[in-house]
Amino acid sequence: MLKHYGKTILILAAAILMSLPVVSCRSTSSNTHSYRPYHERRNRSNDHNDGSERESSCETDKKKPKPQGNGLVSEEWANLDIKLGRHDNKELYKELKRWLGTPYSYAAHTCGEGTDCSGLVMEVYLKVYGIKVHRNSAKMLEQNCRVIDLDDLREGDLVFFITSSDGHVSHVGIYLKDNKFVHASSSRGVVVDDLRQNYFATHFHAAARVVTE
């Protein structure tokens, strides 16, 4: 009888163990970068790189992007509904506000319809400053800019990032002030972000100023 009960208990115990969830112990590794993040950067030498029909001009009443969840970008910055001082380039802010919310589209550069990061910079610089810059972010840094110190960043300067695994410059945005910059995010379209956000601080490469001959 005891032998029979012992077998029953073993069967029940095995059934309970088999019903328990399996927990994976596989570890995940994070990518490491050979370059220093934004908050550690100082001087660097310049060693490098669609839906219903829309009007041709950008719609001003399109849905505005929401501020980021980390609290660094307030609603007024996300919408560029900020008070501008007499030294601010109002034409630059006006033009960039038109582009806010434009969806990301590789190799495109049409306000309200689609653009990538270099396409946004190219169009804005042509409209606001009358300057034609290169269509590629790496070549833009190499051929149209000079690298500047972070402390020298001013409205309209460009900020470059290395976001790809090949180690080359692959993203660019237009600096405003207070660490804010406008860029075409591949996942969110044209938005305002903060250079102190972890992703951009980690992938930051250089601050630069467009030069004219």
Supply the residues annotated as catalytic. Answer: 117, 171, 183
Q: Are 196 and 72 in contact (CB under 8 A)?
A: yes
Q: Which two tokens stand for residue 125?
A: 């610089």
Q: What is the three-class DSSP state of 17?
A: helix
Nearest alpha carbon to residue 144 among 209, 56, 54, 203: 209
Distance CA 189, CA 64 (A): 11
The string of DSSP codes covering 2-53 is HHHHHHHHHHHHHHHHHHSPP-----------SS--GGG-----------S-
Distance CA 187, CA 151 (A): 29
